[in-house]
């Protein structure tokens, strides 16, 4: 099955002169190196670093690595004490801390530990005059409420609030100010706003933010499933367990990873990975194999192919595709093969790099596709993933990424980004149908970060004006004239006579003629180390008056070749069991705890029963009943509907009028909970 990928890999990689997105750009490496050089010239004061960091939140029983660093030392700090809630750390964790040192640092590390009891924990470090204290919160999931069997997390990479609006306008249109329809994600009742900053930066990257969703912990820019440390090795940093690892370890659930990017890229990698450097893509491919998600669908075959294979980007002869096949996976490399596959383990790699965007795939734009002309769309990938994963009676966790929303917004190609947003939304529709049939699946739709695209009005050349002068605002904007004649949800033409005028707030110098690019094109070119506007983005690159289309950027031309992320909050929509957790303004790490809560995920040995547990007091308040607890007899007396019921907490038995009744109840976190069905039945019977 590898034949086509192997034959076409070399030509496609060589032909790909332009790559958009967040992946390892040369100027990013230059900036990092320059920062490192500058840092070495500054004398830093000695400091204490503790990982996990202050205010870290843990699911009780989850695994993590614990590390303390004394950095930038100018003398021996003397004796070091490390305690957790006043107890020596080694005794607390039941493992000795491994000690290392350099001429200016001391390190103390213990791997693979857990905290099993919910509560607040204080970590204190003292070394001579140095000291630091951090606090941790350890929580159990709330047993109240119906629990989900499956969770599907949709991540629209870079999908800000304006991205959703743009896609809705282009897909559904408006009549006299009212939308003619809504996107699938618009129809989710439960909504929240998510903040996205990482532990080291106001503005995040996709690795850091996707890691927060998958672990419940903050990380640093470029980090996946780790807290950063002071070593150069990107693979030895303190790890935190991912949701997928927890579910495999304790539940036997199936895992799916679906993306239109390289499957080793930041967001899909966050499901399985532990590395300080998101560009460790050969190693991330191996991490995918180590966890073995039952479904892996996306691009990025170059990191699965042995070095000797044309097109490979590996530096060794490991055949990762072959390893998957030996482990029982069916391997597919195009849409036809994917649809035909009958299997319970599926690996699909449809491009050596990122998959092409929806517009180019759907129009068979061979200038963009090269030889990869049979790539599946995202909703078919989602359907296939659900078909495979739902074979597991234990349930599944599926992450689906619409990756090129972000990658095209980096390139300021908002039209292609919008087509990919609509494709992403249609995949959400597929999941919604499954959830409605089975009534046991939580669906979450969110973004990892935002971009600065915004709608200023419309663009219209009907009166002879063009360029900036043809951007219409307020009442002159009227409404765009996108047409969807075939009713497939996508506009037939991205360049109607009156189109959206989308502007960018965080962009490099570029040309903007408001015309759709025939192929994805970089907004800049490098000219003597400075990024300048690329005339190839113009409909007529040789236009002698092209400077009228020139837009002065807002970011550093010596360092940024594309549009950049912003720190704006992002939307979240949720549907299904556990969706009520998602409300108000949430930190991105809380998305993890919402998913764990919906699954009733206990990592301390308790088995999920998926019963509809409710708070006894809340239930009685709703029906006009009361309860009274007797500490001496350890009983709770319920009065409701003219009935008296006694719960004996010592025996776990319930009686009504002195006769045993089948009422399910228990105390969790000092709160009495009951199954609503059993209480209703007990109250209804004589």
What residues act catalytically?
Answer: 206
Q: Dihedral of the CA atoms 254, 392, 403, 423 (nearest 10)?
A: -170
SS3 state of residue 118: coil
Tokens (6 digits) for 492: 């037939």
Alpha-carbon distance values, 569 to 123, 153, 174, 203, 580 (Å): 31, 18, 26, 11, 20
Q: Which residues pair with 71 in a beta bridge?
A: 47
Per DSSP, what are the bridge partners of residue 82?
125
Judging by DSSP bridges, how do beta strands 613-615 and 671-675 pair with one another?
antiparallel
Distance in angstroms (rounded) separating the CA atoms of residues 385 and 397: 10
Q: ∠ CA 659-661-667 to the nearest 5 degrees? A: 120
401 is in an annotated binding site: yes
Burial class (CB in 10 A: 0-12, 13-18, 19+), 80: middle
Residues with Cβ within 8 Å of 519's Cβ and at least 6 positions away in sequence, in order, are 360, 365, 367, 368
- The answer to the question of whether 448 is labelled as a binding residue is yes
Beta pairing class for 510-511 and 550-551? antiparallel
Is 528 annotated in a binding site? The answer is no
DSSP 368-417: HHTT---PPPHHHHHHHHHHHHTT-TT-EEEEEEETHHHHHHHTT-HHHH
Number of other CB atoms surrounding residue 319 within 10 Å: 19
Cα 415 to Cα 433: distance, rounded to the nearest angstrom: 28
Query: Is 217 known as a binding-site position?
Result: no
* 658 contacts 644 by C-beta, under 8 angstroms: no
DSSP states of 420-462 = HHHHHHHHHHHHHHHHHHHS-EEEEEE-S-EE-EEEEEEEE-T
**CB within 8 Å of 102: residues ≥ 6 apart:** none
**Beta strand pairing call for 150-156 and 441-446:** parallel
Q: Is 81 annotated as a binding residue?
A: no
Q: Give the residue among 312, 322, 319, 404 at the shortest CA–CA distance from 356.
A: 404
Residues 6+ apart with CB under 8 A from 477: 457, 458, 501
Beta strands in 72-118 (DSSP E): 80-84, 87-88, 98-102, 105-113
CA separation, residue 630 to residues 176, 216, 644 (Å): 64, 39, 15
Quick one: DSSP state of residue 471?
E
Structure tokens at 419: 């087509």
From the number of C-beta atoms within 10 Å of its C-beta (0-12, 13-18, 19+), residue 232 rates as: exposed
Q: Say how far apart CA 371 and CA 524 lie, in whole Å.
A: 26
C-alpha–C-alpha distance, residues 427 and 404, integer Å: 14
Q: At residue 168, what are phi and psi to the nearest 5 degrees? A: -65, -45
Q: Is 609 annotated as a binding residue?
A: no
**Cα angle, residue 86 at apex, residues 81 and 91 outer, rounded to 5°:** 70
Tokens 């704006």 locate to: 568
* Tally of CA atoms within 13 A in the half-sphere of 686 that contains its CB: 0
The owner of tokens 């073995």 is 292
267 labelled ligand-binding: yes
State the binding site for Zn(2+): 157, 406, 410, 448-449, 565
State the binding site: 157, 265, 267, 401, 406, 410, 448-449, 565
State the binding site for Mg(2+): 157, 265, 267, 401
């Amino acid at each position: 099955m590898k034949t086509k990928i192997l034959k076409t890999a070399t030509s496609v990689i060589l032909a790909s002169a332009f790559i958009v997105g967040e992946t390892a750009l040369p100027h990013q490496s230059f900036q990092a190196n320059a920062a490192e050089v500058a840092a070495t010239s500054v004398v830093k004061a000695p400091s204490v670093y503790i990982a996990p960091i202050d205010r870290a939140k843990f699911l009780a029983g989850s695994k993590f690595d614990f590390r303390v660093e004394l950095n930038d030392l100018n003398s021996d700090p003397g004796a070091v004490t490390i305690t957790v809630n006043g107890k020596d750390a080694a005794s607390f964790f039941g493992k000795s801390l491994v000690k290392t040192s350099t001429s200016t640092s001391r390190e103390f590390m213990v791997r693979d530990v857990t905290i099993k009891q919910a509560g607040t924990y204080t970590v204190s470090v003292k070394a001579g005059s140095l000291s630091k204290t951090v606090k941790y919160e350890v929580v159990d999931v709330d047993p109240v409420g119906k629990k989900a069997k499956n969770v599907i997390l949709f991540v629209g990479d870079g999908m800000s609030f304006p991205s959703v609006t743009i896609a809705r306008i282009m897909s559904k249109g408006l009549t006299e100010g009212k939308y003619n329809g809504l996107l699938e994600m618009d129809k989710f009742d439960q909504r929240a706003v998510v903040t996205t900053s990482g532990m080291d930066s106001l503005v995040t990257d996709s690795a850091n933010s996707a890691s927060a969703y998958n672990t419940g912990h903050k990380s640093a820019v470029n980090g996946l499933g780790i807290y950063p440390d002071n070593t150069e090795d990107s693979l030895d940093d303190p790890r935190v367990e991912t949701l997928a690892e927890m579910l495999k370890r304790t539940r036997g659930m199936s895992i799916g990873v679906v993306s239109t990017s390289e499957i080793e890229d930041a967001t899909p990698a966050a499901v399985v990975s532990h590395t300080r450097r998101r560009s460790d893509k050969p190693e991330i491919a191996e991490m995918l194999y180590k966890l073995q998600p039952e479904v892996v669908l996306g691009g990025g075959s170059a990191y699965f192919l042995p070095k000797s294979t044309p097109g490979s980007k590996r530096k060794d002869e490991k055949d990762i595709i072959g390893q998957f096949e030996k482990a029982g996976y069916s391997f597919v490399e195009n849409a036809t093969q994917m649809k035909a596959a009958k299997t319970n383990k599926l690996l699909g790699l449809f491009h050596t790099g990122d998959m092409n965007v929806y517009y180019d795939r759907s129009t068979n734009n061979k200038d963009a596709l090269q030889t990869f002309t049979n790539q599946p769309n995202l909703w078919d990938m989602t359907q296939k993933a659900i078909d495979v994963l739902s074979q597991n009676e234990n349930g599944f966790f599926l992450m689906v990424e619409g990756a090129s929303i972000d990658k095209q917004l980096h390139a300021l190609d908002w039209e292609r980004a919008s087509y990919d947003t609509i494709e992403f939304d249609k995949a959400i529709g597929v999941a919604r149908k499954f959830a409605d049939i089975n009534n046991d699946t939580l669906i979450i739709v969110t973004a990892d970060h935002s971009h600065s695209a915004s709608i200023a009005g419309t663009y219209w050349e009907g009166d002879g004006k063009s360029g900036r002068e043809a951007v219409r605002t307020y009442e002159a904007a009227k409404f765009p004239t996108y047409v969807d004649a075939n009713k497939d949800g996508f506009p037939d033409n991205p360049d109607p006579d009156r189109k959206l005028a989308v502007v960018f707030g965080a962009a490099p110098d570029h040309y903007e003629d408001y015309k759709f690019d025939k192929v994805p094109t970089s907004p800049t070119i490098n000219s003597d180390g400075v990024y300048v506007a690329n005339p190839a983005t113009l409909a007529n690159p040789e236009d002698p008056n092209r400077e009228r289309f020139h837009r002065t950027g807002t970011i550093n031309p010596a360092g940024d070749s594309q549009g950049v992320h912003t720190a704006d909050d992002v939307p979240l929509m949720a549907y299904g069991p556990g969706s009520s957790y998602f409300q108000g303004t949430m930190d991105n790490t809380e998305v993890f705890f919402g998913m764990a809560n919906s699954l009733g995920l206990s990592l301390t040995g308790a088995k999920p029963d998926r019963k509809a547990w409710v708070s006894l007091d809340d239930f009685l308040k709703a029906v006009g009943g009361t309860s009274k607890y007797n500490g001496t007899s350890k009983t709770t007396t319920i009065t409701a509907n003219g009935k008296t019921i006694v719960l004996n907490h010592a025996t776990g038995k319930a009686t009504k009028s002195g006769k045993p009744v089948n009422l399910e109840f228990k105390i969790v976190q000092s709160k009495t909970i009951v199954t609503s069905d059993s209480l209703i039945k007990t109250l209804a019977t004589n």
